């Protein structure tokens, strides 16, 4: 995976081999005119036809291609984030060869994608700050079929993402009993500890560590464990009551939300404008993290 600058540099770029081929065509053409040799004329015509075929198939190789970008539900500032890049070939007759997709300065090579098929690859990226970000400036390129020219095509699609503050461990006024250290009791509420309650189908937002791999291998579809949580007192986190700067307080709040909810504690969030009552579900946790990501 090579580092590239964002934005397609041009529509077409001639490579070294292409310049040599063009110079050879000119040289042979001048020789054909000076000698009036029919055989040389035929050779020049074949060389020009070869270049025309290269141009035709090179342009056709990038037509009717669709690129889809997807990211995980949880993205934290300053941490590596996997990017799912899917190339879809919508053509009925011509496969896609040697397609390169350029995303956020990275280059992914898709050697072959069959007609009506798709190919998936993964990249990695890092968002430097919390908040709303957009993955744009994507483009595709190809050297197909003869590596004489590099053709580029900009992609209009983009993906908008919300990046959460980076979780940073911090000291807080919450006692161990509120975080699952004392007074624990087993409940029938879903959580991350204790005994297995049931196995269900995977849904967006579920933690990857809760996947039941044996059931997944047996059924062929992702299965998730549901276990009984250890009872704990509800906690409402107010970032404004923490010490330090804004980013430090938000990072502390994110770390507390994740660590407390991982132990089965119902957690809520209080800001100047909103109040999220304590809950233990993953969608509730993501809502609180989004609120902190967009905190002014």
Of the candidates 98, 128, 130, 127, the one whose C-alpha atom is nearest the C-alpha of residue 113 is 98
Cα–Cα distance, 155 to 139 (Å, whole number): 5
Cα–Cα distance, 5 to 103 (Å, whole number): 9
168 touches 252 (CB < 8 A): yes
Q: pTM value?
A: 0.72
Scanning 36-118, the segments in alpha helix (DSSP H) are 38-60
- Cross-strand bridge partners of residue 187: none
Residue 57: give its domain's CATH number. Answer: 2.60.40.10
What pLDDT does residue 202 have?
Answer: 75
Query: Both 18 and 135 in a single domain?
Result: yes
Query: Both 19 and 144 in a single domain?
Result: yes
Between helix 282-293 and helix 246-262 the angle, nearest 10°, is 170
Low-confidence ranges of the chain (pLDDT < 70): 1-10, 172-197, 204-208, 227-232
- Cross-strand bridge partners of residue 267: 235, 279
Q: Within a 10 A sphere around the Cβ of 63, how many other Cβ atoms?
A: 12
Query: Both 116 and 255 in a single domain?
Result: no
Scanning the chain, the segments in alpha helix (DSSP H) are 16-35, 38-60, 213-219, 246-262, 282-293
What pLDDT does residue 179 have?
Answer: 37
What is the edge-to-edge ordering of all strands in the sheet holding 149-154? 12-14, 149-154, 139-142, 96-103, 106-113
Domain housing 239: 166-184+234-296
Query: Both 190 and 174 in a single domain?
Result: no
Query: Both 129 and 170 in a single domain?
Result: no
Of the candidates 257, 264, 220, the one whose C-alpha atom is nearest the C-alpha of residue 242 is 257
101 touches 110 (CB < 8 A): yes
Of the candidates 57, 25, 56, the one whose C-alpha atom is nearest the C-alpha of residue 41 is 25
Query: Both 210 and 243 in a single domain?
Result: no
Number of domains in the chain: 3
What pLDDT does residue 3 have?
Answer: 42
Cα–Cα distance, 211 to 222 (Å, whole number): 7
What pLDDT does residue 210 have?
Answer: 76
Query: Both 192 and 87 in a single domain?
Result: no
Query: Both 48 and 152 in a single domain?
Result: yes
* Tokens 């299965």, located at residue: 223
Residue after which a domain boundary falls, among 199, 215, 231: 231
CB under 8 Å to 159, separation ≥6 — which residues? 69, 70, 71, 134, 135
Query: Both 138 and 260 in a single domain?
Result: no
Structure tokens at 127: 């968002």
């Amino acid at each position: 995976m090579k580092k590239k600058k964002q934005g397609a540099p041009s529509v077409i770029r001639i490579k070294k081999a292409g310049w040599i081929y063009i110079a050879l065509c000119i040289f042979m053409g001048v020789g054909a005119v000076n000698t009036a040799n029919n055989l040389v004329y035929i050779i020049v015509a074949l060389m020009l036809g070869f270049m025309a075929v290269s141009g035709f198939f090179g342009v056709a190789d990038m037509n009717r291609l669709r690129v889809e970008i997807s990211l995980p539900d949880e993205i934290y500032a300053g941490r590596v984030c996997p990017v799912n890049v899917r190339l879809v070939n919508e053509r009925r007759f011509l496969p896609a060869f040697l397609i390169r997709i350029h995303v956020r300065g990275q280059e992914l090579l898709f050697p072959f994608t069959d007609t009506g098929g798709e190919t998936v690859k993964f990249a990695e990226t890092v968002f430097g700050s919390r908040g709303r970000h957009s993955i744009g400036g994507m483009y595709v390129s190809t050297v197909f079929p003869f590596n004489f020219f590099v053709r580029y095509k900009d992609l209009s699609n983009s993906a908008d993402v919300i990046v959460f503050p980076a979780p940073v461990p911090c000291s807080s006024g919450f006692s161990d009993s509120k975080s699952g250290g004392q007074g624990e009791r087993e409940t029938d509420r879903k959580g991350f500890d204790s005994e297995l309650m049931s196995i269900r189908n995977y849904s967006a937002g579920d933690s990857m560590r809760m996947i039941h791999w044996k059931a997944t291998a047996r059924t062929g579809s992702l299965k998730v464990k549901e276990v009984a949580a250890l009872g704990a007192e509800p906690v409402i986190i107010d970032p404004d009551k923490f010490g330090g700067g804004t980013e430090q307080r938000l990072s502390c709040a994110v770390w507390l939300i994740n660590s407390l909810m991982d132990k089965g504690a119902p957690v809520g969030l209080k800001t100047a404008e909103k109040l999220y009552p304590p809950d233990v579900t993953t969608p509730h946790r993501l809502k609180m993290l989004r609120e902190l990501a967009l905190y002014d």
